[in-house]
Structure 1
Amino acid sequence: MYSFRQLEYQVILELSEYFPVILLCRVTGIPRSSFYNWKRSIFEPSKRARDFAGNIMLFMEYHKKYPSHGYRWLNAKIRLDTGIVHSDPYAYKCCRAAGIKSRTKHYRYKKPGNPYRLFPNLLLAGLPAYAPMQYIASDMTAFCFKGTYYELTLYMDLWNNEIVSHALSSRRGDRMTYINGLEGLIKTREKETEWQTILHSDQGAVYASKKYNDILRLHHIGHSMSRAGTPTDNAAMEAINGWLKSELFTDFHVTGKESIEREIEEYIKFFNEERPAYALGYMTPKQYREAYSGNGNSKRKK
Structure 2
Amino acid sequence: MKRLYYNSILELSSHYATIWLCQEFGVSRSGYYKWIRRKDKPNYSEIQKHEIISMIREIHSEKPSFGYRRIRNRILANTGWYVCLPRVLACMRAAGIQSKARKKKHWGGVGKPHPVFPNILARQFYSQIPLQKVVTDITEFYWHGRKCFFTCYLDLFNNEMLSWNLDFREDLPFILKPLKEFLQIRRKASVQKTIIHTDQGSQYCSPAFTTLLKRNGIIQSMSRAGTPHDNAVIESFFGWFKEELNLDFHFKQLNDIFLVIKQAVTYFNFQRPVSKLNYKTPVQFRLDRGT
User: 5 Å matches for 1:1-302?
Assistant: 34-41=35-42, 46=44, 48-80=45-77, 82-103=79-100, 104-108=102-106, 117-124=115-122, 126=124, 128-171=126-169, 173-293=170-290, 298=291
Name the Cα RMSD after superposition: 2.7
Q: Distance in 2 between matches of 1:83 and 1:32?
A: 37
Unaligned runs of 5+ in 2: 1-9, 22-31
CA deviation digits over 1:86-125, x for unaligned, max 9? 2112211221221122222211255666767221111117
Q: What's the offset of the Cα at 1:271?
A: 1.1
Look up the equivalent residue of 2:38 and give its one-letter code. Answer: N
2:143·2:252 contact (CA, 8 Å) conserved in 1?
no
2:144·2:252 contact (CA, 8 Å) conserved in 1?
no
Look up the equivalent residue of 2:66 and give its one-letter code. Answer: H
Cross-structure match for 1:7: none
Q: What's the offset of the Cα at 1:252?
A: 2.1
What secondary structure does 2:138 align onto? strand
Q: What's the offset of the Cα at 1:250?
A: 2.0
What secondary structure does 1:164 align onto? strand
Identity, % of aligned pairs? 33
Q: Considering only CA atoms, is the larger Rg found in Structure 1 or Structure 2?
A: 2
Look up the equivalent residue of 1:39 and give its one-letter code. Answer: D
Q: Distance in 2 between matches of 1:289 and 1:83?
A: 24
Q: What's the offset of the Cα at 1:210?
A: 0.4
Q: Distance in 1 between matches of 2:41 and 2:226?
A: 63
CA deviation digits over 1:58-92, x for unaligned, max 9? 11122223223321222123334554422112211
Look up the equivalent residue of 1:158 and give its one-letter code. Answer: L
1:149·1:170 contact (CA, 8 Å) conserved in 2?
yes
Bigger CA drift: 151-160 or 254-263? 254-263
Q: Distance in 2 between matches of 1:131 and 1:285?
A: 13
1:227·1:233 contact (CA, 8 Å) conserved in 2?
yes
Q: What's the offset of the Cα at 1:225?
A: 0.6
Unaligned runs of 5+ in 1: 1-21
What secondary structure does 1:132 align onto? coil
Q: Distance in 2 between matches of 1:272 and 1:167?
A: 15
Q: Distance in 2 between matches of 1:177 and 1:158?
A: 22
What secondary structure does 1:108 align onto? coil
Q: Distance in 2 between matches of 1:256 and 1:129?
A: 38
Q: What TM-score do the two structures reach when normalised by structure 1?
A: 0.78
Q: What TM-score do the two structures reach when normalised by structure 2?
A: 0.81
